[in-house]
Structure 1
Amino acid sequence: MSHPRLTKASPKPPGITMLQTLLLISLLAVRSLALDVQVPESPLVVLFGMDAVLNCTFSGGVPVFNLSELSIFWQVADTQRSVHSYWNQQDQLLYQEERFVNRTSLFPAHLATGNASLLLRRVQVADEGIYTCFVRVQNYSKAALVMQVAAPYSKPLVTWEAAANPRPGDLVALTCVAYGGYPEAQVLWQDASGHNLTENVTISPIANEQGLFTIKSVLTVVLEPNSTYSCRLTNPLLGDEGHAYVTISAQGMVFPPLALWVTVGLAVCLLGLLVALAAVCHRKIKESCEEMRAEEEAKELEEAKELEEAKACFMHWQKW
């Protein structure tokens, strides 16, 4: 006679206690009250002299808030200096850094929707940097963004200095100049074959009062016949900004046949003239010498004659 098999019942899983439920609700409530401030992750590139919008939005916190509870602070991250401040439903610019005066504003109509963006007018090179957006609505949070300034350069201009008639083998200094750009540009020299010319190159960036650069690059080359050189300018933020080139026709010491015969003929004529002139001079000198000799002989004869006459007179006087 068989007996039914007895099995052990499995224990029931423990249920969620009231305390755990309350803790979960509290955690969700805290998370819902957390303030989330967001700014662009990529750097903001702004053209020199133009207006820029530094985007900053916030969400979370209380679903509905009064603007009297909202505070917004924009600061330069490295110096902690005030760019723009807002609380008590109005701008608070007492401690605003001097260079930002009359150049900043928020968007009042969009504050209630979570827009804390900043408008910065007439961007200058000195404005480049990291900006921090602080927002407080009961809770507090912040985020930082990078703003970079760019200015296009003028079209490059290539000039060269050398002798009036350069010849192969001469040293020539080529100068490439571009004005009014930012940041410092990269300069690439190439020959007619596209080969990079990196030796004997100097680059001199000079910044003006506004921080904009004048780029001057000098390339020293040994000329070859009909040489072409190009200067290419690249702005790190704006990319390729143009190039310029120059072709120098260096002539060797080669004479065409006609010019050679003309030169030889002139040389023969000149030599003939020199020989004729030497002959004439020789004859003139010879004639002058003969005339002087004849005059001297005549003078000697005259003196001898006078002496003989004197002698004769003296003898005649003795006889008396």
Structure 2
Amino acid sequence: MCPLGAAVRHITGHAFHFFTSSCGFIVQAELNVFLVSCVFRQSCLLPCQIQLGSDPLIHWYQVSAGDLLVHSYYHNKDQLGKQNQNFKNRTSLILDQISTGNASLLLKEVNIQDEGRYKCYTSTSTGYKESFINLQTEAPVSDIRIHQDGNRITCSSEGIYPQPELTWSTEPPSNTTLNETTRIQKTEDQLYNISSSLTGPDGPDLIYSCSIRTRRNQKTETFIKPGEKTGEQLLIRLNLYFLLSDGKNCRE
């Protein structure tokens, strides 16, 4: 089950209803139109209400893909004989809540092809109603790998959607231009892998930060590249340690 909580905000004169759910992030931007953000390979709840009354009928369609039939319910049971194969074994209604006005659809194993506009058509003995849902699939940045190979530093991440952006920065800021090369690959699942390499400037110790972001998610990983000064300081400390140790041994 995917519980929902609700809050209402007003932004530039428009009412926005924000719903948080374990099955997605939902925003109601206008009457009977919802924006739902669903996580790739997880379950997601598409909200819909049905008027109270007898003989409930519920049809869910993926409008953006040509009115594909996603799920149907009438005669007091699911009717899946004409369900599109893309949604087979992945949809369900909350059957014990239809009588209280809940016609929401639970969509399992959300994929990239599920993105688009959906229509929920409902009717009872008291009338009919249509509402629309814009579904966005998200595969957030979950892990960033950063490593050094010679004078080249590489940052990469995999399995992201939508197409991510990658930016480099240094602390302290570098006076020279970072020479970077970024490559993006698309997988069979329509996800994105991103990798970027740069040749860091010579000089004092620098902290490199690699940030990867999408429309709803951002993650940053840092890497400390030791400069010549660090090596010199370490060598001085080692020499001093051995000198002190030898002096102590002589006194003993």
TM-score by length of 2: 0.68
Is the radius of gyration larger for structure 1 or structure 2?
1
* Cross-structure match for 1:156: 144
Count of paired positions: 199
User: How far 1:250 moved relative to its partner?
Assistant: 4.3
Give the match's secondary structure for 1:115: coil
The answer to whether structure 1 residue 71 and structure 2 residue 57 are counterparts is yes
Give the match's secondary structure for 1:57: coil
Comparing 85-94 with 132-141, greater Cα deviation is found at 132-141
What RMSD over aligned residues (CA atoms) do the two structures have, in Å?
2.8
* Cross-structure match for 2:215: 236
C-alpha separation in 1, matches of 2:107 and 2:176: 42
User: How far 1:81 moved relative to its partner?
Assistant: 0.6
User: How far 1:226 moved relative to its partner?
Assistant: 3.1
Q: Conserved in 2, the CA contact under 8 Å of 1:131 and 1:146?
A: yes
One-letter amino acid matched to 1:91: D
| Structure 2 unaligned spans of 5+ | 1-30, 236-252
Give the match's secondary structure for 2:109: coil
One-letter amino acid matched to 2:222: A
* Cross-structure match for 2:77: 90
Deviation sequence 1:106-153 (CA, Å, 0-9, x none): 122111222111011122222222211111235433111122222233
Change (3 A) 1:243 1:110: same
* Cross-structure match for 2:39: 47
Comparing 75-84 with 174-183, greater Cα deviation is found at 174-183
Deviation sequence 1:76-114 (CA, Å, 0-9, x none): 121211111122222221221112101101122111222
The partner residue of 2:131 within 143, 146, 155 is 143
- Any residues of structure 2 matched to 1:1-80 within 5 Å, and which? 39=32, 41=34, 43-59=35-51, 65-67=53-55, 70-79=56-65, 80=67
C-alpha separation in 1, matches of 2:227 and 2:73: 67
Q: Conserved in 1, the CA contact under 8 Å of 2:91 and 2:107?
A: yes
C-alpha separation in 2, matches of 1:112 and 1:194: 62
Q: Conserved in 2, the CA contact under 8 Å of 1:189 and 1:197?
A: no
* Cross-structure match for 1:205: 184
User: How far 1:54 moved relative to its partner?
Assistant: 0.7
One-letter amino acid matched to 2:165: Q
TM-score by length of 1: 0.55
The answer to whether structure 1 residue 214 and structure 2 residue 200 are counterparts is no
* Cross-structure match for 1:166: none
C-alpha separation in 2, matches of 1:155 and 1:194: 25
Comparing 223-232 with 43-52, greater Cα deviation is found at 223-232
| Structure 1 unaligned spans of 5+ | 1-37, 163-171, 257-320
Change (3 A) 1:119 1:154: closer
* Cross-structure match for 2:227: 249
Whose strand fraction is larger, Structure 1's or Structure 2's? 2
The answer to whether structure 1 residue 104 and structure 2 residue 96 are counterparts is no
Deviation sequence 1:190-210 (CA, Å, 0-9, x none): 012256998643332222222
C-alpha separation in 1, matches of 2:84 and 2:172: 53
Identity of aligned residues (%): 29
